[in-house]
Amino acid sequence: MESDIFYSQCWEDPKIVFKAIQPSRGDVIVSISSAGDNSLSLLQFPITKVYAVDNNPYQNFVLELKIAAIRNLPREQTLKLLGFTRSTRRFSLFEKLSNELPTLASKYFKRRKEIIEKGIINVGRFENYFRYFRKLILPIFLNNAQINKFLSLENTNEQYIFYKKHWNNYLWRKLFLLFYSKGIMNKIGRHPLFFKYTHINNIGKNYLKRAELGITKIPVRDNYMMEYIMKGRISGKNGYPEYMQREKYSTIKANLSRISVHTTDLFSFLKTLPDNHISGFNLSDVFELFSDYDYENCLEEIYRVSKKGSRICYWQNLVLRELPKPLNKRFKVINSLATDLHSKDRGFFYNRLRILEVVK
């Protein structure tokens, strides 16, 4: 195993979260930490509080490192420390701020110096999976110049033509199906639990369809996620994640006191909150790992802690569930906005985006 970190970047499109939950003045938001990017990016809005929650302590260490970097370093140095720009001095940058980190996170990174040296955004299991893809599969079909060409295309029409002409052939589809099969993913990129509740049989075929949509229907011009998948870096040529955008960095830095980090499972965290307290939820695809029973119970708890009109945004990957019938009167399913946003999703792997609104 590369590390105990599953994701060192967020692969959910932050623009979707913003449009789904519309963060505004005074809001209190619950956000799954994952790698922290989207929880941090919420701080660009005049909200009162973000509770960043994850049951994997290593995910929260990643977020805590990003918080300490933004708090203590100018943007150019944060770009270096986190792995956006090249640097041979990452560990000495880390040492400057290691005392600012919570003790457990600081101890972990001191013990795992190589994680800091590689740049944190490169070390999750999921990012590692893309590294194998980039080294083993992609070069069979595209050389460096072609990859650069693809990443500089102006519109989806050009992307479609490029894909058809240079890339989409029998061998590509076969190798993709193999590489993104359940067996290989279990071995390298995913925890087997991830597949426990899915009814989708051919996982590879599902991801090939999603990848083709991502390649041909989502403008690559500002898709930094696609640049990372294809080149293993985020240079800024295809944009930056929100939390690292030049014009947002100082606002996010100024608002860091509004984020708190909680290592616990979502349901237990919700139990600690008073009624009618939360205005929005960014829940990644956490329900993927929930049984039907736990899914319904968690939604009940979300309802209890939510203010009237609160929005809940989450993705469905391989487990496509409807709103449980007993909750029909408590939540309104916002379908048209979800479908529209999903069709523009730069993190194109997910099968469905769900937006719920609390009716009280």
Ligand X SMILES: C[S@@+](CC[C@H](N)C(=O)[O-])C[C@H]1O[C@@H](n2cnc3c(N)ncnc32)[C@H](O)[C@@H]1O
Are the beta carbons of 299 and 306 closer than 8 angstroms? no
The site map against ligand X for 136-175 (x = CB under 6 A) is: ----------------------------------------
Choose the binding region for ligand X from 3-11, 74-82, 140-148, 236-244 (rule: CB under 6 A): 3-11
200 binds ligand X (CB under 6 A): no
253 or 288: CB nearest ligand X:
288
In the chain, how many H helices and how many E strands? 19, 7
Question: What secondary structure does DSSP assign to 34-103, as a single string?
Answer: TTSHHHHHGGGS--SEEEEEES-HHHHHHHHHHHHHHHHS-HHHHHHHHTSS--S-HHHHHHHHGGGS-H
CA angle 62, 66, 72 (to 5 degrees): 145
Pairing of strands 278-282, 49-54: unpaired
The site map against ligand X for 17-36 (x = CB under 6 A) is: ---------------x-x--
Instruction: Report in angstroms how near the CB of residue 46 gets to ligand X at its nearest.
Output: 26
One residue of 2, 13, 37, 54 binding ligand X per CB under 6 A: 54
What's the CA dihedral at 220, 143, 234, 79 to 10 degrees? -160
One residue of 56, 87, 168, 198 binding ligand X per CB under 6 A: 56
176 or 314: CB nearest ligand X:
314
Which residues, numbered 256-315, are part of the site for ligand X (CB under 6 A)? 265-266, 284-286, 288-289
317 binds ligand X (CB under 6 A): yes
Neighbours of 152 (CB within 10 A): 12
93 or 270: CB nearest ligand X:
270
**Which among 106, 123, 116, 7 has a CA at the least distance from the CA of 64?**
106
As to burial, measured by CB atoms within 10 angstroms (0-12 exposed, 13-18 middle, 19+ buried), residue 267 is: middle
Q: In angstroms, rounded to a whole number, what is the distance separating the alpha carbons of residues 346 and 289? A: 23
Are the beta carbons of 217 and 40 closer than 8 angstroms? no
Instruction: Report in angstroms how near the CB of residue 265 gets to ligand X at its nearest.
Output: 4
One residue of 52, 53, 261, 338 binding ligand X per CB under 6 A: 53
Instruction: Report in angstroms how near the CB of residue 203 gets to ligand X at its nearest.
Output: 12
142 or 213: CB nearest ligand X:
213
55 binds ligand X (CB under 6 A): yes
- Reduced to 3 states, what is the DSSP secondary structure of residue 280? strand
Q: Which residues contact ligand X (rule: CB under 6 A)? A: 6-7, 11-12, 32, 34, 53-56, 59, 126, 265-266, 284-286, 288-289, 317
